[in-house]
Chain A
Amino acid sequence: MEILTLKNLSFTYPTEEKKAVDNVSLFVKEGEFICLCGSSACGKTTLMRLIKRELAPRGTLSGEIFFCGKAQSELSERESASEIGYVLQNPETQIVTDKVWHELSFGLENLGYSSDIIRLRIGEMANYFGISHMFRSSTAELSGGQKQLLSLAAIMAMSPKLLLLDEPTSQLDPIAAADFIATLKKINRELGTTIIIAEHRLEDIFPIADKIAVMENGALIAFDTPKNVCRKLKDHRACLGFPVSARIWQALSGEGEVPLTVREGRTFFKENFSPRKNDLKTEEEKRETALSFSDVYFRYEKNAPDVLRGVNTTINRSEIFCLLGANGAGKSTVLRAAAGLIKPYRGKIKTAEGAKTALLCQNVQDLFLMNTVKEDLMDILSVYGIKKGEANTKIEEISKMIGISHLLEKHPYDVSGGEAQKCALAKVLLTEPDILLLDEPTKALDPAAKKELAVILRALCKKGVTIFIVTHDVEFAAENADRCALFFDGEILPASDIHTFFSANNFYTTAASRISRGTFDGAVTESDILRLCGKEKK
């Protein structure tokens, strides 16, 4: 039975001419797991919001939406609220109440259930989602991943038939994101709840999704099983976020069964290619030191445990250095120490003679103080005492280089995640740093925006800027860093070039490396593999 039917759905925002959703028809069967993908601003969010009546944006709508055979307008408020669940993107802002149990009961209270029923339901939910140990905690104490899981549990408590999720993992680290996706799979398989999820990170979702819907410029360009979508959309830009196995398959043969997981990718390689020796190792040259840590110790309070426990490392001039490591391990503390925001109680942090550092924090929104991007850029220049005329030329230069000229008059909150990242980067670069410190720069970016960021960073590097990135984005590090190091137990383990680093790691490595291991030892990125196969990617 079809649970959701969209017929020739089109939608235009009042202030825009272009259709945000363009003639979309979609049939979703009960119990299906559907992944909606496409670049930022392709209309995914608008489409999802149209399905949930309470969140539908204002504008001109044509076409029809049926839920469980009923037209959307005929649903009662109660049905619409409880049977269609919607999980938003930001874990921080979608939590309403101050206690975990209260968040779980919030929806049920709204529907007017009796205390006994609520007690039973939330107890059940807390158990199913494994959050009973924090049942009485404050929501403020939870990590991002726990918050998102709580939001999901709070919605599942209302036992919806259809669950809509708008990029729920974009703010999470990879481990929390994988946990979240695994929970979704469990809900789908064990409870039969129909799921539609909009996502950029497709590596984990492709193998479990029944169907993939791909959107571009508001139109639905593909709606099929994951394997068929891979066959159909070869060399399409929407494929940027597809699983590495599938992308390599597309680039290499494009024939036979499509591998979606690492396991299938490995089999595909073993069957089709003979082992080849890697010659990708980069020569390490002696370079000037830009930033060095020698035996740095730090703790936040006198009686707290050490966060940095003898950090020792050097970062060379004009290289991209990536520090990887688990969440909450203290990676960001390393950056804060390098930026001079915190003072180590033992050890030394040395920067090259006269070198200036600048830190781009994790939530780029924290950087914006003014009403337009331009005012913000002017503001930072005025803090550095630069006159207006000179400031204007500087802003012009930097906007051209980063590609934000068209955003200057917009409010910093009105631009997309990738654009906000670029504006923030522009603001930081106006301080003319020699050492640029970036905290999780790829968080919440779609694959295309990541690529753009990588190009900008490389260009800066060529100009002599040293870039120190803290991230858990293994793939980004493998593709763009010169050297990598792992942060563990309060220390930075010895750094090495990316090929040595990722081929030595068994778990903490890229999907490409895991797929090709044993066949192409030492290949760590998709382009490495393609090069070894003799197929250079255009």
Chain B
Amino acid sequence: MNDRITFANFHPVSLFFYFAAMLVFTMFTQNPVLILFSLVGASLFSAATSTREQIFADIKFYVPVFIVISLTNPIFSHSGATPLFFMNDNPVTLEAVLCGVDIAAMISAVMLICKAFSKVMESEKLLCLFGKAAPKLSVVLSMSLRFIPLFKRKFKEIKDAQKALGYFKSGSFSESLMSNARVFSALVTWALENGADTADSISARGYDVGGRKSFALFRFKKRDAILMTITLVLSSVTLVGFLLGKADFEFYPYITQINTDALSVILYAAFGSLSLIPFIFEVKEALHWKYLRSKI
């Protein structure tokens, strides 16, 4: 379990709702304010949960991605009313450039949210979610999760045993391919043979009795309910804003004005807070620990 990340300590169901809301809103808007909030929130959370080296690595990855996407749009899209210059007789417009930046920000935000999701929702949390819906499916998933490292290890074991006998000796490509194929086929035989054992173990423990219920270590606590409520309230407000057209934004042919009426501001505030929740929890916990340590 990822204990280091405070946000990961919430119940899978609450987390799932949170990330689902963030992803849907981010993907279905073009509004630069909302996208900016989403990007900032996801970046801050990513930074707060990474080491210095990881942050540098992320910057090295995301900045080029951002630039490439921003540049791609004006090269291919020539809509828009304000040409900046001509390239091969095609206009490069201000609208297309800004739209490219907007799309790049949106894609980066989605990628960062997905990254945060995978960081926070380990296999166990996913199993807990699936287990509620389909108790038998969760067993299959759990078994697969066990098999992958097991197969990897077994493959190496078999290969080593063969190496010690003189297979893989010449090191030529064709020989190594043949020998690897042999090892793989041996692995499959092993898996099938031992799968029978696992099947015995499963049925010996009453898998076929019926009425299986899924169990998970997670317990729905007060703080999980609080996160859930906050998520629901803020997303409802955001959703209402979306439905009332307050999040609408167009780049072509002219860039629309950003709405600044009271309802829009409420929408921005709601979505902004929603985006920042994980980061706020991270910072709050860090400060809390600092305070505790100073008292000790």
Contacts and interface: CB of A to CB of B under 8 A. Distances in A.
A81 B161 contact: no
A367 B214 CA distance: 39
B161 A55 contact: no
B294 interface: no
A523 B190 CA distance: 44
Given A82-B206, A111-B209, A96 B183 contact: no
A341 B209 contact: no
Contacts of B146: 95-98, 138-140
A367 B212 contact: no
Interface in A242-269: none
B215 A118 contact: yes
B194 A93 contact: yes
B186 A369 contact: yes
A107 interface: yes
B134 interface: no
B193 interface: yes
Interface stretch (A59-67, A180-188, A305-313, A357-365): A357-365
B203 A109 contact: no
Given A55-B204, A94-B198, A361-B160, A428 B165 contact: yes
Contacts of B226: none
A101 interface: yes
A50 B229 CA distance: 55
B281 interface: no
Contacts of A324: none
A96 B202 contact: yes
Interface string B197-214: 110111111111111111
Given A97-B143, A109-B135, A78 B209 contact: yes
B205 A154 contact: yes
A449 B142 CA distance: 38
B164 interface: yes
A431 B200 CA distance: 38
Given A93-B197, A336-B164, A383-B165, 7 more contacts: A77-B209, A81-B205, A108-B215, A118-B215, A361-B157, A365-B190, A369-B162
A77 B206 contact: yes
Contacts of B115: none
Contacts of A101: 217
B158 interface: yes
B1 interface: yes
Nearest to B216: A115
Contact of A112 (B157, B167, B201, B212): B212
A390 B167 CA distance: 20
Contact of B160 (A88, A94, A341): A341
26 contacts: A54-B200, A55-B204, A81-B205, A81-B206, A81-B208, A93-B194, A94-B198, A96-B198, A98-B146, A107-B206, A109-B135, A109-B212, A111-B211, A113-B213, A114-B213, A115-B215, A358-B166, A359-B161, A361-B164, A365-B190, A366-B186, A368-B186, A369-B185, A384-B166, A413-B189, A413-B193
A427 B183 contact: no
Q: Which of A52, A140, A151, A339 has the most CB of B within 10 A?
A: A140
Nearest to B203: A54
Contact of B198 (A93, A339, A437): A93
B200 A88 contact: yes
B201 A92 contact: no
Interface string A138-174: 1110000000000100110010000000000000000
A96 B207 CA distance: 11
A93 B199 CA distance: 9
B150 interface: yes
Given A118-B215, A427-B165, A88 B197 contact: yes
B145 interface: yes
B206 A96 contact: no
A39 interface: no
Given A97-B142, A108-B215, A413-B193, A358 B206 contact: no
Contact of A380 (B124, B165, B203): B165
Contacts of A111: 206, 209, 211
Interface string A381-405: 0011000000000000000000000
A369 B203 contact: no
B211 to A, nearest CB: 4
Interface in B136-164: 139, 142-143, 145-146, 149-150, 153-154, 157-158, 160-164
A44 B13 CA distance: 49
Q: Which of B143, B149, B185, B186 has the most CB of A within 10 A?
A: B186
A272 interface: no
B166 A380 contact: yes
B72 interface: no
B182 interface: yes
Q: Which of A102, A140, A361 has the most CB of B within 10 A?
A: A102
B176 interface: no
Q: Which of B127, B153, B169, B198 has the most CB of A within 10 A?
A: B198
A96 to B, nearest CB: 6
A316 interface: no
A140 B201 CA distance: 17
B197 A90 contact: yes
A251 to B, nearest CB: 39
B90 interface: no
B123 interface: yes
Contact of B203 (A55, A119, A136): A55
B146 to A, nearest CB: 4
Interface string B102-127: 00000000000000000000011001
Interface string B201-242: 111111111111111110000000000000000000000000
Nearest to B196: A93
Given A96-B143, A368-B186, A110 B164 contact: no
Given A94-B197, A361-B164, A380-B166, A109 B213 contact: yes
A433 to B, nearest CB: 10
Contacts of B165: 358-359, 367, 380, 383, 427-428, 431
Contacts of A107: 205-206
A361 B158 CA distance: 9
A431 B135 CA distance: 51
Interface string A187-206: 00000000000000000000
B201 A88 contact: yes
Q: Which of B154, B194, B205, B212 has the most CB of A within 10 A?
A: B205
B194 A112 contact: no
Interface string A330-365: 000000100101000000000000000011010101
Contact of A155 (B154, B205, B217): B205
Nearest to A49: B200
Nearest to A113: B213
B142 A110 contact: no
Nearest to B192: A413
A86 interface: yes
A431 B166 contact: yes
A106 interface: yes
Q: Which of A54, A114, A151 has the most CB of B within 10 A?
A: A54
